[in-house]
Amino acid sequence: MTGLINGTVHFIALHAVWTFPVMFITAFGESFVFLSLLFPGTTIMLAAGLLVPGGTIPLLPLLSGGILGAVMGDSVSWWLGRRYGYFLTARWPFTRHPEMLARGEALFRRFGVLSVFVGRFFGPFRATIPLIAGLMNMPARGFWLANVLSALVWAPALLLPGIFVVWTAKFLHVPAQWRLAIGAGAIVTAVALIWVARKLKWFKTGGGIVT
């Protein structure tokens, strides 16, 4: 995974013109039901934000690629749920982690359209909720509204922290050669804390939601 993360970020650092398609694929993989658990999209997006303040890559393709990829990833998952839902629920990863479906369905039954918006921000729910929404025949209008609005918040929330960290270091007159290192360290620390919190279930609620 580390090689994939480093390779992807290094590629767009050298080929800024590919920023949009790479971010689209990254956000799509992070949101698509059968890739989300395997694809380190969140870390790639966090790291990519570090490249904006120095002008290595432009902000607009970074954000637009992330937003559109997230929208399409959820959309395909929702469509698959409507078309092949019960067939897919008998396949990996649900056969290995049946609790994903149970928790996702509980969240959907409780919050309806809002679950599509909220689920974007909670690890395993990011990809399973759209599939469940399709399986439960959620109307297209409500799904698309929640899907697009959540993507407009989620993608910037991942991409902007790296930009903020580097800009802050610049404002504090941190030497240029140290800015990326500080930013990368902050991102790695945040990702590590989230990983540890998941393992220790620090974010577990009474409803069984673990981010």
Closest to 4 in 3D by CA, of 32, 35, 59, 44: 44
List C-alpha distances in Å: 92 to 37, 100, 133: 11, 11, 18
pLDDT attached to residue 76: 95
Closest to 49 in 3D by CA, of 148, 167, 196, 151: 167
| Residue found by looking up tokens 């929640």 in the block | 146
Closest to 77 in 3D by CA, of 23, 116, 121: 116
pLDDT attached to residue 201: 47
Distance of alpha carbon 124 from alpha carbon 201, whole angstroms:
13
Global pTM reads 0.77
Domain ranges of the chain: 2-160
- Residue 129 contacts residue 100 (beta carbons within 8 Å): no
pLDDT attached to residue 102: 86
Distance of alpha carbon 133 from alpha carbon 101, whole angstroms:
11
List C-alpha distances in Å: 90 to 24, 87, 110, 140, 168: 29, 6, 23, 24, 48
Distance of alpha carbon 155 from alpha carbon 109, whole angstroms:
26
pLDDT attached to residue 41: 84
Mean pLDDT in order along the chain per 10 residues (211 residues): 82 93 94 81 85 85 95 95 82 75 88 92 84 92 96 90 65 52 56 51 42 36
pLDDT attached to residue 210: 37
